[in-house]
Structure 1
Amino acid sequence: MSDTSGREKSLSPQSRQSHQSHRSPPSAAGPAAPRHPVDAVPPLGRLVPLGVQHVLVMYASTIAVPLIVAAGLGLPARDVVALVAADLLLCGIGTLLQSAGVWRVGARLPLVIGAAYNGVVPMVLIGTEYGIPVMYGSIVLAGVFMVAFAPLFGRLLRFFPPVVVGTTITLIGITLVPAGARMIFGGKPGDAGFGAPSGIALGGLTLLVVVLLYRFLPPLLGQLAILAGMVLVTAVALLTGQADFGGVGHGAVASAPEPFHFGYPSFDAVACLSLVLIQFVLMVETSGQVLAVGEAVERPASRRDVIAALRADGVVSTLGGVFQSFMYITFTQNIGVVTLTRVRSRWVTAAAGAILVLMSVFPVFGRVVASVPKPVLGGATLAMFATVAVVGLRILADVRRDTANLVIVAVSLAVGLVPMAVPGAYDQLPQSARMFLDSGVAVGTLAAVLLNLLFHHLPWPRWERPEEETI
């Protein structure tokens, strides 16, 4: 396959026409076209547990951002509760938008939306230096920018051929793996309780049970292997005293998130610009993730799909400034669930969105999920995160095997993995530079785009080289 033609082929007018035919009603003159698995609606008895499975996979990452931001800003417990409720609400609304779609907002693919880790550090810096109202004003403006800029960004997709997209998705998967490992091992070296044998045993047991369920259950039941594995090992943790559900009954049963909890947003040019730059990085990540899930469900995403997905992220980020939570991005973790379970229905992730909205209004559901031991979550998600990297490698497998593409992939992976391999590597640089460089995915993606331009788009000089089996 050509280095640039593969992805562009999926964005061609013919591909878009074929893609749209999956969604158009059958002609009265001809037989009804078979429904693509993406648009199929599973029976309710499977729809709900499959949706719960997606919620469990994303939940740890979903609630981590409110806790980190609250700690960075020194917020009291009452505000933490408000942040978590608002976050769950917007994750649910965003997931519904991406999965079901409203007008030209949402990709109508099995995608979920969650709070963006890349926005945490700049949010805390702005909130500390300029105040929380300015922080939320910056989020509103960054979200509006994303919605407005989405169509123009869609025209740049020709600079994201398979060699770039595959590298980006591989980087995302690799950089996610430590998040699952930290849940198993209890943080990082030096943290209290790090490497506790009980946590390692729970995480390892969860991974083993999930693998065995995949191996021995019938295919239909095997689609619920992740959920079943987490339930079984959580029961073991409860019996051995490693799980505590005593806090589930404490607190309000119903409590709707309130807008403008911290006051009305205000604006500062410098603060807004910093989040707009971060939003551009998030747009690159979302584009790669939409293209990856299109590969996973065997319905290649068109340019229109990517633009619609970017609009959904932007709308939810704008609402993040109103309900005062965070910046939002289409999550990668759940691509692993789609790939492993082979359940491609977007209505499953829509069900997950509805469950998240329900959890935001009835916090008792959130308290149940929060009581699941972190090593269990880590064991279940570790393979999911690694599967994202496998999706990227599958894309790279179709890339033309020549020296130019080898250089693009190798250099981009190398610079993108620096923040993970050497934490704090850029601490001596100005804060504005650190905001970008500490995101290995952003740095690696930028490197892949620039190297692709250098090798495949500049007119001079381009020597013919023999093809080599290098990738």
Structure 2
Amino acid sequence: MVWDNSRKAKETPPDTPASAVDERHSAVRTTLFGLQHVLVMYAGVVIVPIVVGSALGLSDADIAKLVSIDLVLAGIGTLLQSLGVWKFGIRMPLVVGAASNGIIPMVLVGENHGLPTVYGSILVGGVIWIFMAPLFGMLLKLFPTVVTGTVIALIGLTLIPVGLRMIVGDDPEDPGYGKLSHIALAGFTIALIVVFRRLLKGVAGQLSILFALIVGAVVGWAVGIGDLSHIGAGPVIGLMGPMHFGTLQFHLPSILLFLVIIFVITVEASGQGVAVGQVVGKRVGPSDIARLLRVDGLMTALSGLFSGFVYTTFGQNIGLIALTGVRSRFPVAVGGVILLALGVFHPVGEVFASFPKPVIGAAAVVTFGALIVTGVQLLSSVDFNRPSNLMIVMISLSAGLIPAYIPDFYTRMPHLAEMFLESGVATGTALAVTLNLVFHAGRRRGDGSAAPPGEGRPGSGEEPRTD
């Protein structure tokens, strides 16, 4: 990667769809944009190792090591997605992190068979995922505009509660739940984002979220929200070696359980790939989705050896892209380098981990809201005079939001069904694809068939381009 450090960075002409993705900024701008991406998605990365480690009764030292290896693997995956190597990586501004869907099978298998079986299953699942990626990539034709817009809006709507829980807490029984000071700090951070975006121009305006995060964190620390006392208490540099928890073991039922979760994640990740293509204005084809999924599979397979997690391409930063207008993949690549540094140099990661959750939650709510707007913009091109399109959107969104509104809705379902249904994005995506096939399969593309994105506007009633 060659940076132009001149006062005005050389940029590719903006007249081609790919130019925004390949746009080059100065090293300083790129680093600041990359840092902004990391801060928005950091909490989502580190929460999985903390939850898994706590649920399995691991020591604080082992949980800290899990966080470190998780950040390193997330950094490598983010670099691969943004820059691409051979057939791995979509070469788009997407980040990679530990999938929350993987928490349940890791805890279940870990409690019953031990962590060596967990990581043996993850290794096998990741390898299978890599080889199955082209097959999943071919399913892109099932995502016309009416489906894509629904999925993007659903991703944003599903993520909003995640940001809100960072502000008020996860447990209503906790005495600290919903503290007014936390809500006030979150409101202050959002106000800063608005003020900075309104007053600052150019690059400074695009970095308004980063500036608001920093100022909000300083204010939070000053009033006692967020803990800085643990910084520097542990080792400065350190990573776990391969098979830290013992020689890998392979158990067929456990492997099958992880494969079910991988299928769910594949549906979600494919939607993220289509979503980022819409945001940056670049068409995403089956080969792109296959390259995206190969990275998820590779990082999952590596985590089987290095005691990581099930990995997936995140959608947390897509809203940030839509909000700032910075669609280049290179800042996200720098974000991958920052994640690697956070994983290797513990004090740096500890500072970021100490950012008050209400501040991070406020920024998350804003960026996830931008993602919802992107989905709505896509759906505005759909012809809702067709009752079929109305049915697709309203049923898919309603069903996909059930886990966000009532997390225990599916608790009486068979366990495998529950693991799929508790992912609102996977449920809503599967429903949107299925309903689109029910209503439009077999029709000509001009009347709403499930044609690939970019070939007309399937579901909108427009004729496809013939030039």
User: TM-score higher than 0.5 here?
Assistant: yes
Q: In 1, distance between residues paired with 2:325 and 2:109?
A: 42
Deviations 1:149-187 (A, max 9, x none): 111112221122122222222111111111100111122
Q: Which amino acid aligns with 1:175?
A: T
TM-score w.r.t. length of structure 2:
0.89
Deviations 1:422-449 (A, max 9, x none): 2211112222221111111111111111
- SS of alignment partner, residue 231 of structure 2: helix
Q: Pick from 239, 242, 261: which aligns with 2:225?
A: 242
Deviations 1:338-394 (A, max 9, x none): 111111111100000001111111111110001111111111111111222222222
- SS of alignment partner, residue 122 of structure 2: helix
Partner of 1:361: 344
Q: In 2, distance between residues paired with 1:293 and 1:105?
A: 17
The alignment-based identity, stated in percent, is 46
Q: Which amino acid aligns with 2:280?
A: V
2:168 is aligned with 1:180:
no
Q: In 1, distance between residues paired with 2:428 and 2:59?
A: 37
Q: In 1, distance between residues paired with 2:229 and 2:403?
A: 39
Per the TM alignment, residue 458 of structure 1 is displaced from its structure 2 partner at its CA by: 5.2
Partner of 2:238: 255
Q: In 2, distance between residues paired with 1:420 and 1:243?
A: 26
Deviations 1:257-301 (A, max 9, x none): 322111222111111111111111111111111111111111122
2:299 is aligned with 1:321:
no
Taking structure 1 as reference, are residues 320 and 177 closer, same or farther at Cα in structure 2, changes over 3 Å only?
Answer: same
Q: In 2, distance between residues paired with 1:280 and 1:143?
A: 11
Partner of 2:426: 442
Q: In 1, distance between residues paired with 2:38 and 2:246?
A: 30
Q: In 1, distance between residues paired with 2:165 and 2:82?
A: 30
Q: Pick from 393, 401, 405: which aligns with 1:421?
A: 405
Partner of 2:202: 219
- Matches for 1:1-400 after TM superposition, within 5 Å: 36-400=19-383
Deviations 1:384-437 (A, max 9, x none): 112222222222222232110111111111111111222211112222221111
CA contact (8 A) 2:65 2:239 kept: no
* Range with bigger deviation, 382-391 or 341-350: 382-391
Q: In 2, distance between residues paired with 1:130 and 1:35?
A: 48
Q: Which amino acid aligns with 1:442?
A: A
Taking structure 1 as reference, are residues 370 and 167 closer, same or farther at Cα in structure 2, changes over 3 Å only?
Answer: same
Q: Pick from 410, 430, 452: which aligns with 2:394?
A: 410
Q: Which amino acid aligns with 2:416?
A: S
Q: In 1, distance between residues paired with 2:314 and 2:240?
A: 22
Q: In 2, distance between residues paired with 1:435 and 1:34?
A: 38
Per the TM alignment, residue 239 of structure 1 is displaced from its structure 2 partner at its CA by: 2.4
Deviations 1:306-326 (A, max 9, x none): 111111111111111111111
CA contact (8 A) 2:382 2:460 kept: no
Q: In 1, distance between residues paired with 2:326 and 2:164?
A: 26
Partner of 2:455: none
Partner of 2:456: none
Q: In 1, distance between residues paired with 2:301 and 2:291?
A: 15
Q: In 2, distance between residues paired with 1:423 and 1:432?
A: 16
CA contact (8 A) 1:142 1:275 kept: yes
Q: In 2, distance between residues paired with 1:376 and 1:42?
A: 28
Per the TM alignment, residue 302 of structure 1 is displaced from its structure 2 partner at its CA by: 2.2
Q: In 1, distance between residues paired with 2:281 and 2:140?
A: 19
TM-score w.r.t. length of structure 1:
0.88
Partner of 1:18: none
Q: In 1, distance between residues paired with 2:323 and 2:371?
A: 10
Q: In 1, distance between residues paired with 2:336 and 2:43?
A: 15
- SS of alignment partner, residue 246 of structure 1: coil
Partner of 2:438: 454
- SS of alignment partner, residue 68 of structure 1: helix
Taking structure 1 as reference, are residues 149 and 184 closer, same or farther at Cα in structure 2, changes over 3 Å only?
Answer: same
CA contact (8 A) 1:257 1:361 kept: no
Taking structure 1 as reference, are residues 130 and 34 closer, same or farther at Cα in structure 2, changes over 3 Å only?
Answer: closer
Q: Which amino acid aligns with 1:429?
A: M
CA contact (8 A) 2:403 2:422 kept: yes
- SS of alignment partner, residue 265 of structure 1: coil
Which ranges of structure 2 fall in alignment gaps of 5 or more residues?
Answer: 1-11, 449-458, 462-467
Q: Which amino acid aligns with 1:370?
A: A
- SS of alignment partner, residue 329 of structure 1: strand
Taking structure 1 as reference, are residues 332 and 253 closer, same or farther at Cα in structure 2, changes over 3 Å only?
Answer: same
Q: Which amino acid aligns with 1:122?
A: P
Q: Which amino acid aligns with 1:352?
A: G
Deviations 1:3-39 (A, max 9, x none): xxxxxxxxxxxxxxxxxxxxxxx9xxxxx99981211
Q: In 2, distance between residues paired with 1:393 and 1:146?
A: 32
Deviations 1:435-470 (A, max 9, x none): 1111111111111111111111157xxx99xxx999
Q: In 1, distance between residues paired with 2:240 and 2:114?
A: 21
Q: Which amino acid aligns with 2:411?
A: D
Q: In 1, distance between residues paired with 2:17 and 2:272?
A: 26
- SS of alignment partner, residue 97 of structure 2: strand
Q: Which amino acid aligns with 1:186?
A: G
